[in-house]
Amino acid sequence: VLQKWVNREISNFDYLIQLNTMAGRTYNDLAQYPVFPWILQDYTSEELDLNNPAVFRDLSKPIGVVNEKNAKAVKEKYNFEDPLGIIDKFHYGTHYSNAAGVMHYLIRVEPFTTLHIQLQSGRFDCADRQFHSIPATWQALMDNPNDVKELIPEFFYFPEFLENQNGFNLGQLQISKELVNDVVLPKWAHSPEDFISKHRKALESEYVSAHLHEWIDLIFGYKQRGPAAVEALNVFY
C-alpha cells in the first residue's frame, strides 16, 4: 500500500483509509473510529487558494500545538510530576479521536443523534458546545490546547452531515442568540457539497501529498510514543 501511495497509484484519501483499517480503526466502533487530519487553516478567506502553502495546517505538529502559543502550556503540563508516581506524564489529557468527538461531528445524522442524546442523559448538549460552525471549531482549536480533536473521514465525502435535514431542535447560542441549524461553512464554500469538493481537493493537493507522512508519523508511526513522541509534544494520557 505504501509503495502504491508513493507511486501515486492510490489517492491520499485511500491511503489514509487503508492505514486506519490496518491500525484496527473501523466505522463499527466509535471508540476506534477512522481518524483524518485537519489539513487547512484558512477558514475565513472568500476564495481558497490551494497553490498557497499558507492556507494549509502544519502537518508536522499535533493539532494541540499547531498554534505555537499553546506549546508552552502543553510543555508545562508534561513537566508536572504526579506526587504518587501513578500517572505517566502526558501533554494532553484528552485524545484526538474518541466516541464523543465522533458524535459531536455527526450529531445531525442518525444513529449518532440518538447516541449523542443518550450520552447527554436524554437531551441535546447545550448549543454552545455543539458542532455548529467549521470556522469557529478551528478557532477553538487554536485558542485551546485542551481541545485536540482531529477530523473524521466524512469531512471529505459526506455533505449531508453538515445539514440539519431532520430538523432537530439544537437550541440557540447564548451570546448571539443564533439558532443552531446547518453547520456554518467557511466563506469560500458556497454549499455543503462545495465544501466537501474543495476540502477533498485540498487533501489531494501537492502540498498535502508532500507533507502527509509527517502527520502519519504522529498518529500511526514512530512519534506515537517514546522519546520521539515527547520531543514532538505528542504524548496522550
pLDDT over 90 (residue 170): yes
Superfamily name and number for 1-46+81-236? BEACH domain (1.10.1540.10)
Band the pLDDT of 148: cuts 50, 70, 90.
very high
Q: pTM of the full predicted structure?
A: 0.94
Predicted confidence at residue 24, as pLDDT, reads 97
Tell me what the mean pLDDT of segment 70-77 comes to. Answer: 91
Predicted confidence at residue 83, as pLDDT, reads 82
Tell me what the mean pLDDT of segment 208-222 comes to. Answer: 97
Tell me what the mean pLDDT of segment 127-138 comes to. Answer: 95
Q: What is the pLDDT of residues 23-41, one digit of tens each?
A: 999 999 999 999 999 999 9
- Which residues have a Cβ under 8 Å from the Cβ of 154 and sit 6 or more positions away? 105, 106, 161
Band the pLDDT of 146: cuts 50, 70, 90.
confident
Q: Domain segments of the chain: what residues?
A: 1-46+81-236
